[in-house]
Amino acid sequence: MPPGADPFIVILSLVGAVIVVSALLSGLIERSGVPQMGVLLALGAILGPFGLGFIDTRLDSPMLRVVSMLSLALVLFTDALSLSLQEIRKHARLALLVVEPGTVLSALLITVAGHFLLGLSWPLAAILGAALASTDPVLLRGLMRRPELPSSTRLALRLESGLNDVVLLPIVLVAMTLLGGHGLEEPGAGSRMALQLFLLGPGAGVAIGLLGVATLDLVRRRLGVRRDYESLYSLGLCFAAFAAAESVHGSGFLAAFAAGMTISIFDVELCDCFQEYGETTAELALLFTFVLLGTSLIWTGIGMAGGAEWLFAVLCLLVRPVVLLFSLQPARLDRKSLFLIAWYGPRGLSSLLLVLLPVFARTPGSVRLFELCSLVVLLSVVLHGGSLMFAGKKKKSKAHVPEKQPAAPPPAAPAPSPLRLAPEGLPESLEIAEMQRLQAAGEPVMILDVRTLRSLESSDLRAVGAVRVDPERPAQEAERLTLPREAWLIAFCA
């Protein structure tokens, strides 16, 4: 930090830089396939001590601790919200294959490699194995948005990224407890630890989730709640669940996941609302954390790396593809889907957040774990991010091959009719009776079912004559369906 600089101004500038750069480059990043995390690491390096010197984050930084803890809670919360029990039950076999052999066996093999190759104690190796078995949903986002991605690949990667953190987090917490002692030699200490981790934390999360959904439902019916504020309400429930669990000595992170799963089960509308708006807030926290780590901390992984560390990093990235290529055979996927699922398991912010937990707890040996994890994450950003970028270029160049005999140009289309504006005073939302009055008056009315896939699959409610429109791609859908410009387009979303 420059001498005499106000820390508040520096932090505010950093937040502004992250938002501005992420927004301005979002389109370019999506089209080119350049890994977003690579851009943010570069931004961190520019702002860090090796660049402009605006900020130099240390592992004992209170700001890093707060941002990282909130980010991990939001990661677990949004992971739970993205899951659908109906989808998990429908694809239970695939979910078990990607989580049990894919995640658990990968963590076990990395643990063994850390113990014998790097000389780590078994608890430290277990923490590192659990952290490095976590796949990063932020790094996967560019791949998941590609329309050409096979549906089986998208499903498997979404299930894995949504479920693996809650499987791996208890391993980290138990290993930290073993390393810290905490009176484990006393009678009943193991039972007390299990109670705190696996009952008090999730129990607090479920309680907050149920209370929050019931309260919101009551207020909705009596007073009404603005949709954008429901997103903020979800964030409040996440943090409240975390705080409630920590106050009773449970795991706030498991509570955040349990609260998100409870909301996902009992209030689909709130879940969709959070994913539309509140998820952007969660992603901003993740991006900000990555920039903080990119100032200097993450680069320490390269400085400490020797031959054994580089070999370990390569093994970490090879373990998961080998495990999944064999374990997914019973799923009978096509070859393309199988290889895509096996290869795209990037390590990113989720791994760093998990390994930071023992660092913040001042667990002996945890700094070395962070350095090793940073080395693997940097290698993963280069390999997985680079493969995404080159795959995108190949697709683009292939799509622009000129035809031998170009087709004749289509006849000129008539000029489109101007869009009619809604009468002044008409509310944004219409009651069914108002829609029926439009129809009775002879007005052309078209009903569009714009619910998310989650809401559509979990509800038997259907609007008669409604046309299905994907809310993620409204412009493309309107062009595909050739929606009439002079009709009343009424969106059905509840």
The pLDDT of residue 276: 61
19 with 152, same domain?
yes
pLDDT of 65 > 50? The answer is: yes
User: Structural domain tally of the chain?
Assistant: 2
The pLDDT of residue 454: 55
Has residue 155 been placed in a domain? yes
Strand partners, 490: 447
**What are 230-234's contacts with CB under 8 Å, separation 24+?**
230/269, 230/270, 230/273, 230/274, 231/273, 231/274, 231/276, 231/277, 231/278, 231/281, 232/278, 233/270, 234/81, 234/263, 234/270, 234/271, 234/273, 234/274, 234/278
Give the mean model confidence (pLDDT) for residues 24-30: 75
Give the mean model confidence (pLDDT) for residues 374-393: 81
256 with 200, same domain?
yes
131 with 259, same domain?
yes
316 with 444, same domain?
no
pLDDT of 395 > 50? The answer is: no
Give the mean model confidence (pLDDT) for residues 202-220: 92
Give the mean model confidence (pLDDT) for residues 278-284: 69
Instruction: Answer for the pair 472, 453: CB distance below 8 angstroms, yes or no.
Output: no
Has residue 405 been placed in a domain? no
- Residue 445 tokens, joined: 């009315």
Tell me the pLDDT band of 418, cut-offs 50, 70 and 90. very low
The pLDDT of residue 244: 94
The pLDDT of residue 403: 44
Give the mean model confidence (pLDDT) for residues 27-47: 76
Tell me the pLDDT band of 124, cut-offs 50, 70 and 90. very high
97 with 243, same domain?
yes
Q: Which of 381, 398, 415 is the last residue of a domain?
A: 398
Tell me the pLDDT band of 375, cut-offs 50, 70 and 90. very high
208 with 279, same domain?
yes
Instruction: Answer for the pair 319, 106: CB distance below 8 angstroms, yes or no.
Output: yes
The pLDDT of residue 315: 95
- pLDDT tens-place string over residues 428-475: 566 677 777 777 777 787 788 776 655 565 556 677 777 887 766 676
Q: What percent of the chain has pLDDT over 90?
A: 23
The pLDDT of residue 307: 92
Q: Which of 377, 398, 419 is the last residue of a domain?
A: 398
Has residue 417 been placed in a domain? no
pLDDT of 419 > 60? The answer is: no
- Amino acid identity of residue 5, one-letter, is A
Give the mean model confidence (pLDDT) for residues 476-482: 73
Instruction: Answer for the pair 177, 184: CB distance below 8 angstroms, yes or no.
Output: yes
The pLDDT of residue 400: 43
Tell me the pLDDT band of 279, cut-offs 50, 70 and 90. low
442 with 392, same domain?
no
323 with 204, same domain?
yes
Show the DSSP H helices in 134-226 as ranges: 137-144, 151-180, 189-195, 201-222
136 with 233, same domain?
yes
Has residue 242 been placed in a domain? yes
pLDDT of 113 > 80? The answer is: yes
Has residue 404 been placed in a domain? no
Instruction: Answer for the pair 120, 128: CB distance below 8 angstroms, yes or no.
Output: yes
Has residue 403 been placed in a domain? no
Has residue 449 been placed in a domain? yes
What CATH number does residue 171 fall under? 1.20.1530.20
Residue 409 makes CB contacts below 8 A (sequence gap 6+) with none
133 with 214, same domain?
yes
262 with 214, same domain?
yes
Q: Which of 354, 374, 398 is the last residue of a domain?
A: 398
Mean pLDDT is lowest, of 42-46, 212-216, 367-371, for: 42-46
Instruction: Give the chain's mean pLDDT.
Output: 79
Has residue 269 been placed in a domain? yes
Planar angle of CA 244, 248, 254, nearest 5 degrees: 60
366 with 472, same domain?
no
Distance CA 216, CA 256 (A): 18
Structural domain harbouring 469: 432-492
What sign does the CA torsion over 240, 246, 248, 254 have? positive
Tell me the pLDDT band of 78, cut-offs 50, 70 and 90. confident
Instruction: Answer for the pair 75, 165: CB distance below 8 angstroms, yes or no.
Output: yes
